[in-house]
Structure 1
């Protein structure tokens, strides 16, 4: 089942959401029949990804072993859009016309449990997933389709042990990534305190990103998402750490902010190939 059908199954209709695409009734009927016929068939790459995640993610406060990380990266590096029911031929990925208003991100969840989640994010051209963190999480991001800019930071000093950051307090962060990537490309990995745990995605063209989060966000626990605004290093003085001008470009000040308006996303039901939990 393609993303056009997924969009028609949106859980919460929003008037100004950028729609990924539509299929008419006869096309949807044919797709349903094809989906029913192929329901028992799971792409090997997707099933391997799922099984590996079940084996390597062991809950909060654990980071996968290096050999497990390498194994998961190898699976993701070789995954294609078709493994999750997508294609570059879909109208969403061919759209060139400007989106009216603020482009809105859509997401769908392939699978979620207490230990990990598999999600796909759809970003129209110029859409932004604002600068945000992944507390206590290891995250694998695979750009399946499109072209996007990634900016990522890590804290210079480790998080304080006496509680969460105080809002509006500036903290120094080191720039870990500031580059453009184009699919197909290798998987990026971030860790609880390294690898660019605080990052931002900006779509240059319509994009689809497959994310593996272990463990997933939890608003009830200590893994809720925080958002940040970055300022150049030279914008504020720092008596504790003086850098040369050329070194300053590798650092920035981050300030925690309220939830940005453009961080709101629309969830849709995943109707692509299903993973088989019984085979684990």
Structure 2
């Protein structure tokens, strides 16, 4: 974190310029006040300020340095539902049988060109279908509940270690003319809160993922940078097809790994996916 500006200024004043003792005392009081303020700072404010620093020079394809990744991960790991004003008994999380897929609620915390913060609130059986995060680094913190995550990365680099002649992004055409791209399974598991923050990167870590709420749950997402159509960061949805359904010349995988590979075919946004925005009512984020 370094030395607080107020403390550094106080030391410089007393040691270099020879300020009167009264001024030095006032500086000391100010420093203590600032330290007390920091101790009282809300965790969500701490997260915001860290994101602002980490993604200050970010853009499409930006990956924060390892120390910054760990910094954000540590802050997110320590967050609780109460820190963002959530509890499982809120209306967002009530089970419903009125439609095939429950309505998902999105709480917008903050967004700028460099990063965004928001919370997805999923009732039981709520689904965020398989979608991508082009050129983005994403931190996902499960605040409470149980969520099933299934994620993939494009298979080019994996296949290159098996078959050096394989293209970086293997494509295939189904007999019906549909185009698809080969992907490798990264995660297929239930996450139960409290658990560690999940991180995905522009080309690894499970850039395409699907969330399914086993129980009512909430997940806080930090996207750096956020989706932006003008900048080419479109949210694309996918259908999954078994490896054996499509074929591509020169693409082969070991028999015992075929279940880990699928063909992903672009699709329109699912018609039954409804995500409604709602006001964020947790601790206020001070944007300075």
TM range (shorter): 0.7 to 0.9
Aligned match for 2:183, one of 168, 173, 195: 173
Q: 1:73: which partner in 2? A: 73
| Cα distance in structure 2, aligned partners of 1:46 and 1:143 | 15
Q: Secondary structure at the match of 1:176?
A: strand
Q: 1:128: which partner in 2? A: 127
Q: 1:10: which partner in 2? A: none
Q: Structure 1 206/43 Cα, relative in aligned 2: closer, same or farther at 3 Å?
A: farther
Instruction: Write 1 or 2 for the structure with the bigger share of helix.
Output: 2
Q: 1:221: which partner in 2? A: 231
The CA deviation at 1:169 is: 1.8
What's the TM-score once normalised by structure 2's chain length? 0.75
The CA deviation at 1:219 is: 2.2
Q: 2:282: which partner in 1? A: 272
Task: Report 1:32-181 matches (<5 A).
Answer: 44-57=42-55, 58-61=57-60, 62-90=62-90, 93=93, 95=94, 97-101=95-99, 102-157=101-156, 168-181=178-191
Q: Structure 1 234/185 Cα, relative in aligned 2: closer, same or farther at 3 Å?
A: same
Q: How well do the aligned residues superpose, as a CA RMSD in angstroms?
A: 2.2
Structure 1 stretches of 5 or more lacking a match?
Answer: 1-40, 162-166
Runs of 4+ in 1 over 4 A off after TM superposition: 158-161
The one of the two structures with greater contact order (alpha-carbon pairs below 8 A, sep at least 6) is 1
Q: Structure 1 241/42 Cα, relative in aligned 2: closer, same or farther at 3 Å?
A: farther
Structure 2 stretches of 5 or more lacking a match?
Answer: 1-38, 158-166, 170-176
What's the TM-score once normalised by structure 1's chain length? 0.77
| Cα distance in structure 2, aligned partners of 1:219 and 1:264 | 20
- CA deviations 1:221-243 (Å, max 9, x no partner) are 21110010011112223332222
The CA deviation at 1:141 is: 0.3
Aligned match for 1:201, one of 194, 204, 211: 211
Q: Structure 1 42/240 Cα, relative in aligned 2: closer, same or farther at 3 Å?
A: farther
Aligned match for 1:210, one of 217, 220, 226: 220
Q: 2:198: which partner in 1? A: 188
Q: Structure 1 42/168 Cα, relative in aligned 2: closer, same or farther at 3 Å?
A: farther
- CA deviations 1:180-232 (Å, max 9, x no partner) are 01111110000111100000001111111100001111122211100100111
Aligned match for 1:236, one of 223, 243, 246: 246
| Cα distance in structure 2, aligned partners of 1:68 and 1:55 | 9
| Cα distance in structure 1, aligned partners of 2:216 and 2:119 | 13
| Cα distance in structure 2, aligned partners of 1:160 and 1:220 | 26
Larger radius of gyration: 2
